[in-house]
């Protein structure tokens, strides 16, 4: 399995995160993330859990957009622009490893299935989607949680899509959090020059 936080294709500026700010990142993580994981776990219906965690991922995407483009809100509006646009915009900078954005897209695609399909209630329902939609959702989720290491390896006692979805969300949130100080530093360095 590959490390989710490393650039395996030599295609981005920040090849891996530096551990310089790890104490602060861990402190913030411990203050903020466990309550969201607990809320996710409390939802009995996958639809609610998926939409909830997808919003938590979107929060981190928005934060990264605002770091790179502080005036983005006056240009388009951070809350008015679709998450897919923001993910593609961040990916186009080639700052972070590609799989982070693949995961963010997968999470968004799964969220969209639940938000737009009234009969979609459980993550296992994704298996009945037409092939083109299944490839972007359940197949991509299975690939990302098999190809890259992360929280999922601790969840394998019961191999269900809900645990894989939670894992890919936590990996993606972690990635945005661990790279945030480097992105801030990079942006500030470029502005000062």
Q: What is the mean pLDDT of residues 2-22?
A: 83
Q: For 95-120, how does the pLDDT look when each residue is reduced to its tens digit (9 = 90+)? A: 999 999 999 999 999 999 999 999 99
Q: Which of 117, 99, 119 is nearest to 107 (CA)?
A: 99
Task: Look at phi and psi of residue 158 and say left if phi exceeds 0, alpha if psi is from -120 to 50, else beta.
Answer: beta
Confidence band, pLDDT 50/70/90 cuts, at residue 74 = confident
For 35-66, letters b (16+ CB in 10 Å) and e give ebbeebeeeeebbebbbbbbebbbebbbebbe
| Structural element, H or E, at residue 87 | helix 83-92
Report d(CA 88, CA 175) in Å as an integer: 16
pTM recorded for the entire structure: 0.91
Q: How far apart are CA 11 and CA 95, in angstroms?
A: 9
Q: What confidence score (pLDDT) does residue 51 get?
A: 97
Calpha distance 174→25 (Å, rounded): 9
Q: What is the pLDDT of residues 79-95, one digit of tens each?
A: 778 999 999 999 999 99
């Amino acid at each position: 399995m590959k490390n989710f936080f490393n650039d395996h294709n030599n295609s981005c500026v920040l090849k891996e995160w530096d551990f310089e700010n790890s104490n602060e990142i861990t402190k913030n993580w411990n203050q903020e993330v466990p309550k969201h994981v607990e809320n996710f776990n409390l939802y009995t219906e996958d639809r609610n859990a998926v939409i909830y965690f997808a919003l938590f991922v979107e929060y981190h995407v928005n934060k990264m957009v605002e770091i790179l483009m502080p005036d983005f809100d006056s240009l388009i509006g951070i809350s008015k622009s679709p998450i897919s646009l923001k993910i593609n915009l961040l990916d186009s900078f080639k700052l972070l490893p590609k799989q982070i954005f693949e995961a963010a897209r997968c999470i968004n695609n799964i969220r969209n299935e639940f938000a737009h399909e009234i009969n979609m209630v459980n993550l296992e329902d994704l298996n009945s989607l037409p092939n083109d939609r299944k490839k972007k959702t359940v197949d991509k989720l299975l690939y990302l949680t098999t190809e890259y290491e992360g929280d999922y390896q601790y969840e394998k006692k019961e191999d269900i899509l809900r645990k894989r979805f939670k894992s890919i969300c936590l990996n993606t949130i972690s990635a945005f959090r661990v790279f945030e100080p480097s992105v801030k530093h990079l942006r500030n360095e470029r502005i000062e020059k």
